[in-house]
């Protein structure tokens, strides 16, 4: 394991050495060590299985150098990296690659400058950093036993499926550049996301538990929640195709944010002219009841970091305020490129996420952190149900994509679990999973808000990069189509 | 959070930032260059030759550990060049190596899996360090396997003591189907060695192509290009004695274009050229038979035309649709390829990529039953050219052509050694990992609808009233792949056998079996296209696969705006 001190020494000594090299106009040295440990579960009561299928990890460290070189009358910029070597020699090898890879990019203005002071301190857990292999594996078995004991208590033992994972992220990084940035960060994250099915009943349930500290991590709770949710939805009914008032639960809200809203609010999409919010800064784009912001400095949230991978303190970036576009997610490069013809935003979202960590071998892209959805008028969950009166509660959706491109806003997905019919403002009966496809448009969703709940929960979806602090949101007139008829579906 | 997601922008990043350095592997002999007073070796694909003994020694060491039942090690190296550009402006280039390894161990009294993986660098080649790194990693994987086996034993005891034996009986030790253990080498040849292409030439082609794309019309708002060219070598060795060394070239170009007319919504399209070949791919030796420039300009012109087209309207009832080979590439991928992966079949992907509409259980499945029109056959064949071409999979299993559907009857699944043992089948060599650092998964290879006998022009000419669905765009598939909505780049109205009006933002939706059963004509224009970004697993792996087929005619509902 590499310590933060080793990373700080690497960037400090490395940058001092680079400063002495002729033709280097400015430089940034980024060093990181990361480990992602995943316990993947697979339990099938009617098929031979392993229970905890894959206790595995990826561990990596190294150094990346971004440098601007004087090349005749021009400035050229290049990036290079070197794995597994934090010595000055490793930094110089990365610099050599940066020199070889240098290009003339007229949109490159400068390296990031120091901005403000980080607010998060000592928010990681040393117990996570030093967790043993045995403890890691046992967390997976805890999650599985949580699910199985819940099924057993209700008398279910056949056609059960339990999947998902217990995952631990450990991240350490340090950064220093010639413009004065000199900082470091350490992060620990624990997540348990469990999916469970009773296939004979055609039901699926999900549960999740997240923490930044080991003593607050309860993977068995995620397992129980998954089983109980599946049991609650036994006896699901089909619905006819049509437009329905719906409540999007926290997982669907997260899926919509991750695949449609957050990408549309990134300057990368603005740069590509591929967002429904192009040239909409300062304009109303949705219901005045909606506010969206990104905040990477929220205490206790698993999407929080002390600084970005450019060394900028994390914090709140307002994106939509009372229905009006007020900002975009950005890193330093896109902010400087577009500030002359758009506006300047604080670059609080320049991260190098890949392979389950802050990867030294890539330049920053734009990534959300904790995306928070708020309502101007928020109400309790039960009141939201009564507002809808008659419709569908959607608890989990799947494969949500902007099928005609982000800018058009059309999206589709299927309802796969945790969902109910609503009648007279109450949950009437479960909805049959995998039998309804949503065909709608994100602009329709954002402009037809009925209500937003006060209670929010940090939520993750598979493959998602961001954490969404998600409420439940009721929307009027969403198109739902009945799919997978009895003759073509194997579900009972 | 730091998990990856498959989206267009992340696809671009994954191709041109990750792939060039991490998803690559192959080595070269040490070749010293001078940096100031420091001498650094360059990693090249030949390095594999110098670390084979260390890998074999480490595997032998793993076999000596108590209750060790199986171990394997994959180590890979790549040399690659990448570049990307926007609107004629250079945005980045890179020449670098990738070097990484991963190990798997089955150990413990009740044999369980344990894994470990990490990237490697020049510093790992000093002295005998590499052997130590391999052995330490195998020990870590072994410790996890032993802890995992203990956890399973403990859970079993606990369930049995509570009288919950019906929950405990499924928990078993790992069983791997027997294979023909091989020692072999395999190399895919190429015409123009990616290593011989100058990095600046890669960048110049990029900037020239994106500049010409942008110059087509003022309505082109964004023109992006990216190129990867490289060579990948991977060594596999196992405690059973497998010693397999494979080397493949990979060259790929991607375009991303956005066009907008007046105040209409922007139209975007992403497409790629690629093959397991050298630089010649970008000069026209690809499925499109177009140079990268001509391919990019064609797609750009189409996008500009589409930006002014009328939006397609959805239909409530199925209509006659003719789908072209490019569209069927994604169709076969989603509704036949994924559900015939044995890990999905056995519910192992339930929490992530989903299950399979072909298999509910051992006594309730579609094997041997009609799932498509008698005109439809589908295969997965890693022995043919395409993105899914190889001789041995990531478990050292010899690759085989797998019959998935024959004349409409479901015949079999792509599998791994573990899933083959559960299904009581022979392993067919379908396990792959995006990088040795990641665990292998059951993956499509070159998976396609088989060729038919009809002239595609005749298939269209027979349609009095229908739609021509051309080139895939974006999919959304139901959890068990039993229903799909896939959008197309272009949709044309067919009237009296002729293509007439062009529509944008259209596609088709249907229950998978309904669509497959409705197919009444299969063309003779078979082609395999590259899919570079198939997402699966946790953490998600983005794999390249080959998919394709001929023109098909069937019935589906139209989707639109």
What is the tens place of the pLDDT at every residue in B174-186?
999 999 999 999 9
pLDDT of residue A490: 56
- C-alpha B43/C-alpha B26 separation (Å) is 8
Nearest to A56 among B4, B92, B439 (CB): B439
- C-alpha A364/C-alpha B89 separation (Å) is 19
pLDDT of residue A462: 74
pLDDT band at A62 (very low <50, low <70, confident <90, very high): very high
Partner A contacted by B119 (CB < 8 A): yes
**Predicted confidence (pLDDT) per residue in B63-72, tens digit:** 999 999 999 9
Mean pLDDT of A340-352: 92
Report domain extents, chain A.
4-232, 242-482
**Tokens standing for A188?**
């620990």
pLDDT of A463 > 80? The answer is no
- Give the chain B residue nearest A195 (alpha carbons): B351
Same domain, B32 and B138: yes
How many helices (H) and strands (E) would you count in chain A?
Answer: 11, 26
> Per the CB < 8 Å rule, is B99 touching A101?
no
CB-based contacts of A173: which residues, under 8 Å, 6+ apart? A7, A30, A31, A32, A33, A184, A185, A309, A358, A360
Q: Please tell me what DSSP assigns to residue B335.
A: I
Beta bridge partners of B116: B103
Same domain, B241 and B324: no
Mean pLDDT of A451-468: 87
pLDDT of residue A122: 81
Mean pLDDT of A371-391: 95
- B184, B216, B245 - which closes a domain: B245
- B181, B216, B245 - which closes a domain: B245
Q: Which of residues 281-300 of B touch A (CB under 8 A)?
A: none
Same domain, B236 and B357: no
- C-alpha B201/C-alpha B193 separation (Å) is 13
A77-86, A339-348, A460-469: range with lowest mean pLDDT? A460-469
**Predicted confidence (pLDDT) per residue in B276-333, tens digit:** 999 999 999 999 999 999 999 999 999 999 999 999 999 999 999 999 999 999 999 9
Mean pLDDT of B540-561: 96
pLDDT of B5 > 60? The answer is no
**What domain range includes position B393?**
319-559
User: Greatest CA span in chain B, whole angstroms?
Assistant: 76
> Per the CB < 8 Å rule, is A407 touching B483?
no
Average confidence score pLDDT of chain A: 95
Per the structure, the count of domains in chain B is: 2
Partner A contacted by B354 (CB < 8 A): yes
- C-alpha B151/C-alpha B201 separation (Å) is 55
**Predicted confidence (pLDDT) per residue in B419-434, tens digit:** 999 999 999 999 999 9
pLDDT of A492 > 50? The answer is no
Chain A CB contacts of B482 under 8 Å are 434, 484, 488-490
The answer to whether the beta carbons of residues B342 and B381 sit under 8 Å apart is no
- Give the chain A residue nearest B13 (alpha carbons): A365
Q: Which of residues 19-78 of B touch A (CB under 8 A)?
A: 21-22, 33, 35-36, 38, 40
Tell me which residue of B294, B283, B266, B248 sits closest to B80, measured CA to CA: B248
- Give the chain B residue nearest A358 (alpha carbons): B2
pLDDT of residue A488: 55
Contacts of range A414-417, beta carbons closer than 8 Å, 24 or more positions apart: A414/A438, A414/A483, A414/B476, A414/B478, A414/B479, A414/B483, A415/A480, A416/A204, A416/B478, A416/B479, A417/A195, A417/A203, A417/A204, A417/A205, A417/A206, A417/A229, A417/A230, A417/A233
The answer to whether the beta carbons of residues B159 and A148 sit under 8 Å apart is yes
pLDDT band at A341 (very low <50, low <70, confident <90, very high): confident
- C-alpha B521/C-alpha A344 separation (Å) is 57
The answer to whether the beta carbons of residues B91 and B85 sit under 8 Å apart is yes
The dihedrals phi and psi of B192, each to the nearest 5 degrees, come to -115, 110
pLDDT of residue B41: 53
Distance from CA of B474 to the nearest CA of A (A): 5
What is the DSSP track for B419-455? HHHHHT------EE-SSTTS--EE---EEEEPP-SB-
Cα Rg, chain B, nearest whole Å: 25
pLDDT of residue A486: 62
- Give the chain B residue nearest A46 (alpha carbons): B170
ipTM score of complex: 0.94
The dihedrals phi and psi of A238, each to the nearest 5 degrees, come to -85, 160
Distance from CA of A389 to the nearest CA of B (A): 27
Distance from CA of A20 to the nearest CA of B (A): 11
Partner A contacted by B261 (CB < 8 A): no
Residue B304 lies in a domain: no
> Per the CB < 8 Å rule, is A465 touching B122?
no
- C-alpha B533/C-alpha B2 separation (Å) is 18
Structural element, H or E, at residue B194? none
Residue B282 lies in a domain: no
- Give the chain B residue nearest A166 (alpha carbons): B538
pLDDT band at A205 (very low <50, low <70, confident <90, very high): very high
Q: Which residue shows structure tokens 């190429």? A: B190
Partner A contacted by B1 (CB < 8 A): yes
- C-alpha A435/C-alpha A415 separation (Å) is 7
Mean pLDDT of A385-414: 95
**Predicted confidence (pLDDT) per residue in B204-217, tens digit:** 999 999 999 999 99
pLDDT of residue A489: 56
- C-alpha A463/C-alpha A455 separation (Å) is 25
pLDDT of residue B444: 98
pLDDT band at A481 (very low <50, low <70, confident <90, very high): very high
pLDDT of residue B35: 34
**Predicted confidence (pLDDT) per residue in B66-102, tens digit:** 999 999 999 999 999 999 999 999 999 999 999 999 9
- Give the chain A residue nearest B315 (alpha carbons): A481
- C-alpha B274/C-alpha B106 separation (Å) is 37
Q: Provide the CATH number for the domain formed by A4-232 in this structure.
A: 3.30.2290.10
Q: Which of residues 402-421 of B touch A (CB under 8 A)?
A: none
Residue B158 lies in a domain: yes
Distance from CA of B455 to the nearest CA of A (A): 30
Same domain, B352 and B463: yes
Beta bridge partners of A290: A375
Same domain, B177 and B70: yes
Chain B CB contacts of A397 under 8 Å are none
Distance from CA of A366 to the nearest CA of B (A): 10
pLDDT of B34 > 50? The answer is no
> Per the CB < 8 Å rule, is A79 touching B117?
no
Residue B300 lies in a domain: no
The answer to whether the beta carbons of residues B479 and B534 sit under 8 Å apart is no
- B196, B228, B245 - which closes a domain: B245
pLDDT of A309 > 80? The answer is yes
- Give the chain A residue nearest B163 (alpha carbons): A152
Same domain, B346 and B223: no
> Per the CB < 8 Å rule, is B1 touching A439?
no
Residue B286 lies in a domain: no
What is the DSSP track for A161-202? EEEEEEEEEEEEEEEEETTS-EEEEEEEEEEEEEEEEEGGGT
Q: Which of residues 420-459 of B touch A (CB under 8 A)?
A: 422, 437-439
Residue B237 lies in a domain: yes
Mean pLDDT of B383-398: 98
Chain B CB contacts of A95 under 8 Å are 35
Residue B461 lies in a domain: yes
Same domain, B195 and B337: no
- C-alpha A40/C-alpha A52 separation (Å) is 6
Nearest to B483 among A60, A85, A483 (CB): A483
CA distances from B505 to A402, B314, B409, B428, B470 (A): 11, 10, 34, 39, 12
For residue B391, count other CB atoms closer than 10 A to its CB. Answer: 18
Average confidence score pLDDT of chain B: 92
Same domain, B359 and B233: no
The answer to whether the beta carbons of residues B140 and B471 sit under 8 Å apart is no
Same domain, B48 and B137: yes
> Per the CB < 8 Å rule, is B222 touching A273?
yes
Please provide the size of chain A in residues: 492
Same domain, B362 and B226: no
pLDDT band at A487 (very low <50, low <70, confident <90, very high): low
Same domain, B237 and B323: no
pLDDT of B524 > 90? The answer is yes
Chain A CB contacts of B145 under 8 Å are 55
Would you say the C-alpha torsion B180, B181, B183, B188 has a positive or negative sign? positive
> Cα torsion at A8, A14, A18, A24 (round to 10°)?
-50
Mean pLDDT of B449-459: 98
pLDDT of residue A460: 83
pLDDT of B149 > 50? The answer is yes
**Predicted confidence (pLDDT) per residue in B12-33, tens digit:** 333 333 233 223 322 223 333 3
Write b or e for each residue in A371-392: b if 16 or more Cβ atoms lie within 10 A of its Cβ, otherwise e.
bbbbbeebbeeeebbeebeebb
Percent of chain B scoring above 70 in pLDDT: 93
Same domain, B360 and B227: no
pLDDT of residue A228: 97
Mean pLDDT of B255-276: 96
pLDDT of A326 > 90? The answer is yes
- Give the chain B residue nearest A302 (alpha carbons): B1
Top residue of A74, A101, A201, A296 to mutate, by most chain B CBs within 10 Å, is A101
Q: Which residue shows structure tokens 């000596």? A: B64
Mean pLDDT of B339-368: 96
Residue B295 lies in a domain: no
């Amino acid at each position: 394991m590499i310590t933060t001190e080793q990373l700080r020494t690497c960037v400090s000594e490395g940058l001092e050495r680079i400063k002495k090299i002729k033709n280097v106009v400015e430089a940034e040295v980024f060093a990181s060590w990361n480990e992602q440990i995943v316990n993947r579960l697979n339990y099938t009561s009617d098929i031979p299985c392993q229970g905890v299928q894959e206790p595995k990890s990826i561990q990596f460290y190294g150094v990346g150098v971004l440098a601007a070189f004087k090349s005749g009358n021009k400035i050229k910029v290049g990036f290079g990296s070197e794995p597994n070597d934090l010595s000055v020699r490793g930094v110089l090898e990365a610099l050599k690659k940066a020199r070889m890879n240098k290009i003339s990019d007229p949109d490159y203005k400068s390296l990031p400058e120091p901005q403000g002071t980080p607010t998060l301190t000592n928010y990681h857990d040393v117990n996570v950093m030093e967790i043993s292999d045995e403890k890691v594996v046992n967390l997976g078995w805890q999650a599985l036993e949580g699910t199985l004991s819940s099924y057993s208590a209700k008398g279910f033992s056949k056609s059960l499926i339990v999947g998902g994972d217990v995952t631990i992220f450990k991240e350490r990084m340090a950064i220093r550049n010639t413009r004065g940035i000199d900082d470091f960060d350490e992060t620990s994250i624990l997540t348990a996301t469990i999916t469970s099915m009773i296939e004979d009943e055609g039901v699926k349930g999900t549960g999740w538990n997240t923490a930044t500290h080991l003593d607050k991590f309860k993977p068995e709770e995620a397992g129980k929640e998954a089983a109980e949710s599946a049991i609650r939805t036994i006896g699901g009914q089909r619905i006819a195709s049509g437009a329905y008032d719906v409540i999007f639960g926290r997982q669907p809200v997260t899926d919509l944010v991750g695949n449609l809203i957050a990408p549309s609010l990134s300057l990368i999409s603005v740069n590509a002219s591929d967002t429904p919010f192009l040239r909409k800064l300062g304009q109303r784009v949705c219901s005045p009841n909606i506010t969206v912001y990104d905040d990477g400095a929220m205490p206790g949230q698993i999407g929080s970091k002390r600084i970005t991978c450019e060394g900028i303190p994390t914090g709140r970036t307002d994106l939509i305020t009372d229905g009006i576009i007020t900002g975009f997610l950005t890193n330093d490069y896109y902010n400087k490129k577009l500030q002359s013809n758009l506006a300047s935003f604080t670059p609080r979202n320049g991260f190098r996420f890949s392979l389950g960590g802050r990867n030294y071998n890539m330049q920053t892209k734009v990534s959300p952190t904790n995306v928070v959805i708020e309502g101007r008028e928020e109400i309790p969950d039960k009141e939201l149900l009564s507002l809808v009166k008659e419709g569908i509660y959607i608890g989990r959706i799947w494969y949500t994509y902007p099928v005609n491109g982000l800018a058009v806003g059309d999206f589709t997905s299927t309802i796969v679990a945790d969902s109910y019919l609503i009648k007279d403002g109450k949950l009437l009966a479960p909805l049959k999973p995998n039998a309804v496809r949503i065909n709608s448009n994100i602009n329709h969703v954002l402009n037809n808000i009925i209500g937003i709940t006060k209670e929010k929960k940090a939520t993750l979806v598979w493959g998602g990069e961001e954490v969404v602090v998600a409420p439940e949101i009721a929307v009027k007139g969403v198109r739902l189509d009945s799919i997978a008829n009895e003759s073509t579906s194997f579900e009972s | 959070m730091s998990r990856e997601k498959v989206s267009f922008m992340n696809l671009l990043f994954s191709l041109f930032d990750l792939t060039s350095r991490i998803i690559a592997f192959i080595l070269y002999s040490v070749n010293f260059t001078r940096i100031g007073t420091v001498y650094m070796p360059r990693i090249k694909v030949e390095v594999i030759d110098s670390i084979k003994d260390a890998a074999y020694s480490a595997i032998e060491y793993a076999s000596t550990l108590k209750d060790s039942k199986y171990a394997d090690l994959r180590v890979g190296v790549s040399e690659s060049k990448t570049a990307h550009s926007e609107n004629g402006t250079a945005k980045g280039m890179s020449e670098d190596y990738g070097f990484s390894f991963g190990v798997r161990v089955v150990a413990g009294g009740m044999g369980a899996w344990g894994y470990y993986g990490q990237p490697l660098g020049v510093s790992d080649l000093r002295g005998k360090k590499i052997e130590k790194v391999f052995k330490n990693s195998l020990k870590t994987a072994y410790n996890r396997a032993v802890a995992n086996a203990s956890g399973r034993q403990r859970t079993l005891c606990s369930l049995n003591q509570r009288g919950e034996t019906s929950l405990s009986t499924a928990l078993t030790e790992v069983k791997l189907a027997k294979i023909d253990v091989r020692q072999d080498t395999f190399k895919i040849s190429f015409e123009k060695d990616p290593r011989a292409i100058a990095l600046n030439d890669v960048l110049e082609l990029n900037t020239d192509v994106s500049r010409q794309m942008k110059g087509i019309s003022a309505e082109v708002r964004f023109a992006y290009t990216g190129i990867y060219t490289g060579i990948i070598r991977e060594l596999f060795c196992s405690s059973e004695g497998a010693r397999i060394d494979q080397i493949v070239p990979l060259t790929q170009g991607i375009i991303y274009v956005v066009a907008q007319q007046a105040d209409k919504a922007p139209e975007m399209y992403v497409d790629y050229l690629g093959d397991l070949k050298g630089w010649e791919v970008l000069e026209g030796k690809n499925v499109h038979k177009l140079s990268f420039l001509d391919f990019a300009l064609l797609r750009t012109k189409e996008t500009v035309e589409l930006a002014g087209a009328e939006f397609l309207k959805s239909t409530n009832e199925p209509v006659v649709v003719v789908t072209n080979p490019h569209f069927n590439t994604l169709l076969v991928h989603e509704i036949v390829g994924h559900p015939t992966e044995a890990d999905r079949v056995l519910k192992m992907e339930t929490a992530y990529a989903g299950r399979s509409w072909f298999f509910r259980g051992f006594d309730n499945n579609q094997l041997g039953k009609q799932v498509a029109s008698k005109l439809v056959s589908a295969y997965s064949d890693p022995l043919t050219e395409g993105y899914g071409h190889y001789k041995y999979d990531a478990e050292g299993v010899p690759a085989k052509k797998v019959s998935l559907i024959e004349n409409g009857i479901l015949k079999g699944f792509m599998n791994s050694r573990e899933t083959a043992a559960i299904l009581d089948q022979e392993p067919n060599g379908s396990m792959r990992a995006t990088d040795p650092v990641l665990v292998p998964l059951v993956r499509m290879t070159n998976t396609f609808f088989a060729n038919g006998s009809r002239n595609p022009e005749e298939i269209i000419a027979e349609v009095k009233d229908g739609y021509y669905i051309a080139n895939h765009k974006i999919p959304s598939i139901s959890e068990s792949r039993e229903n799909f909505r896939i959008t197309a780049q272009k949709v044309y109205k067919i009237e009296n056998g002729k293509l007439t009006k062009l529509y944008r933002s259209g596609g088709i939706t249907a229950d998978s079996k309904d669509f497959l059963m409705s197919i009444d004509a299969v063309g003779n224009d078979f082609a395999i296209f590259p899919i570079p970004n198939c997402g699966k697993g946790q953490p998600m792996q983005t794999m390249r696969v080959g998919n394709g087929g001929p023109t098909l005619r069937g019935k589906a509902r139209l989707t639109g705006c």
